[in-house]
Amino acid sequence: MTLPLKKERDEMILNMGPQHPATHGVLRLLLELEGEVVKKVVPIIGYLHRGIEKLGEERTYIQNLVLTDRLDYTAAMSNNLSYALAVERLCGIEVPERARVIRVIMAELARIAAHLLWIGTYALDIGAITPFFYCFREREKIMDMFEMVSGQRLTPSYICIGGVRKDITPTFLEALRNFTDTFESYILDYEGLLSKNPIWLARTRDVAVLSKEDAINWGTTGPVLRASGVQFDFRRATPYCGYENYEFEIPYGTRGDCYDRYRVRMEELRQSNRILKQALNNLPDGPVLADVPYIVMPDKSQVLTDIEALIKHFKIASGAFQIPKGEVYSSIENPKGELGFYIVSDGSSRPYRMRIKSSCFVNLSALPFMVEGQMVADVVAAVGSIDIVLGEVDR
């Protein structure tokens, strides 16, 4: 590949990545340096391209679910949810109330897990090594809970079309209750290490600033947008899964710098914990899967005993079902921002087109704008602060 940058007399072209500890995966950044000052940044993506959108056209709607796990693998539950919501809207499936609450629980747990991973790795980027281990202590608990409900830690495929795969168990509820009761004090641990640390402030305050107008013009979403002072959240703007019934605040920043992005995410941890507590108290009884023959997979226990269920299962698994013709776009508030699925159905069991709108990709496109004229260390701080997952950027 030819370099998109031309070397001038006194400048140094530094190739950062695709294998570099601070690029969070396989992002490649070409930096044009003058001493330590960055003149220009060119992000080069595509090293983790697996063609998920194209693969989606080859597989049935049911099979596509596992592909969504591999988008933003730090919060796979959220991706499942976004995809399931899109297909459900296409088919007009009503999800049972209990499944809706379980979905909220899973989405918020995924948000906490993703933000914890972010805080840990971001602190590592800035040079503080200790917060990483504290964050992973709690993230591990969430991973254990995911394993309880789905048998998988990273790629659960738990939220499926029509509801959730299996009902949650009393053990899970107890673990969740313990978690929500103690989590507030753990947040204080992280804040104690970072929030008022003068070096942390020096490294993140007024670094990689994105003004309110620019944040909107670049189309950023999620914590990056909110840190710039826009109080916008899909959970509030276009509620799904009954988010309109929960009480929570939308934290937002004022300056749009790295520190504000950190504060916004820290505060979102608290708000997510609040939502979790409310969901726990209002968990209704009832089924967790909608009863829609030939689209929603029947419960596995029935498949083993009931011939009708076995036939349904076989038909769905072999792709002998039809999704109504039409097109749909639906998006949710992922931990990183908007995650939207645009699905065009031609009436068969496979999507004609599955387009994924990724907030990571959009937010990354604002990076060169944010860091030009700053120092090399600020590039690391900026890349970390927009919280990209290359699995979602490259798809």
Partner 1 sequence: MSFAGLVFILIKIVVVFALLMLTVAYLTLLERKVLAHMQVRVGPMFAGPHGILQPIADGIKLFFKEDIVTKQADKFFYFLSPALSIVPVLLIFAVIPFGDKSDIFGLLKEPIDLRITGLRIDILFIFAMSGLATYGVVFGGWSQNNKYALIGGLREAAQLISYEVAFTLSVFGVVLIAGSLQLDKIVAMQKDMWFIVYQPVGFLIFLTAAVAELKRTPFDLPEAESELVAGFHADYSSMKFAMFFMAEYASIVACSCLGTILFLGGWLGPSFLPPFVWYMIKVFILIFVIIWLRGTYPRLRYDQLMKFGWKFLIPLSFVNIFVTAIVILLVR
Q: What is the smallest separation between the CB atom of 247 and partner 1, expressed in angstroms?
A: 33
Measured between its terminal Cα atoms, the distance across the chain in Å is: 21
Report the distance separating Cα 68 and Cα 358, nearest Å.
12
Q: Which two tokens stand for residue 382?
A: 């900026």
Among 14, 154, 304, 320, binds partner 1 (CB under 8 A): 14
Helix, coil or strand: residue 17: coil
Is 16 or 362 the residue whose CB approaches partner 1 more closely? 16
Size of the site for partner 1 (CB under 8 A): 31
- Using the Cα atoms of residue 44, residue 48, residue 53 and residue 57 in order, give the sign of their dihedral: positive
Scanning 11-19, 65-73, 103-111, 343-351 for contacts with partner 1 by CB under 8 A, the matching segment is: 11-19
Instruction: Cite the DSSP H helix spans in 195-222.
Output: 198-204, 212-217
* 181 Cβ contact partners less than 8 Å away, ≥ 6 residues apart: none
Residues 154-193 that bind partner 1 (CB under 8 A): 193
Q: What is the smallest separation between the CB atom of 201 and partner 1, expressed in angstroms?
A: 10
8 Å CB contact between 260 and 267: no
Among 20, 89, 270, 357, binds partner 1 (CB under 8 A): 20
8 Å CB contact between 125 and 384: yes
- Using the Cα atoms of residue 89, residue 167, residue 114 and residue 41 in order, give the sign of their dihedral: negative
Q: What is the smallest separation between the CB atom of 126 and partner 1, expressed in angstroms?
A: 4
8 Å CB contact between 364 and 222: no
- Using the Cα atoms of residue 213, residue 218, residue 223 and residue 224 in order, give the sign of their dihedral: negative
Is 328 or 376 the residue whose CB approaches partner 1 more closely? 376
Helix, coil or strand: residue 386: coil
Among 119, 126, 224, 288, binds partner 1 (CB under 8 A): 126
Scanning 1-9, 132-140, 149-157, 212-220 for contacts with partner 1 by CB under 8 A, the matching segment is: 132-140
8 Å CB contact between 136 and 118: no
Scanning 124-132, 252-260, 293-301, 386-394 for contacts with partner 1 by CB under 8 A, the matching segment is: 124-132
- Contact between 3 and partner 1 by CB under 8 A: the answer reads no
- Contact between 134 and partner 1 by CB under 8 A: the answer reads yes
Among 152, 197, 278, 348, binds partner 1 (CB under 8 A): 197
Q: What is the smallest separation between the CB atom of 337 and partner 1, expressed in angstroms?
A: 24
DSSP code for 6:
-
Report the distance separating Cα 203 and Cα 381, nearest Å.
8
> From edge to edge, which strands make up the β-sheet containing 351-358?
326-334, 337-345, 351-358
Residue 281: count of CB within 10 angstroms of its CB: 7
Residues 26-65 that bind partner 1 (CB under 8 A): 36
- Contact between 21 and partner 1 by CB under 8 A: the answer reads yes
Is 199 or 237 the residue whose CB approaches partner 1 more closely? 199
Among 54, 137, 177, 300, binds partner 1 (CB under 8 A): 137
- Contact between 373 and partner 1 by CB under 8 A: the answer reads no
Among 28, 70, 100, 203, binds partner 1 (CB under 8 A): 203
Which pairing describes strands 337-345 and 37-44: parallel, antiparallel, or unpaired?
Answer: unpaired
- Contact between 129 and partner 1 by CB under 8 A: the answer reads yes
Is 283 or 376 the residue whose CB approaches partner 1 more closely? 376
Query: Which chain residues interact with partner 1 by CB under 8 A?
Result: 12, 14-15, 20-22, 36, 123-130, 132-134, 137, 193-194, 197, 199-200, 202-203, 375-378, 380
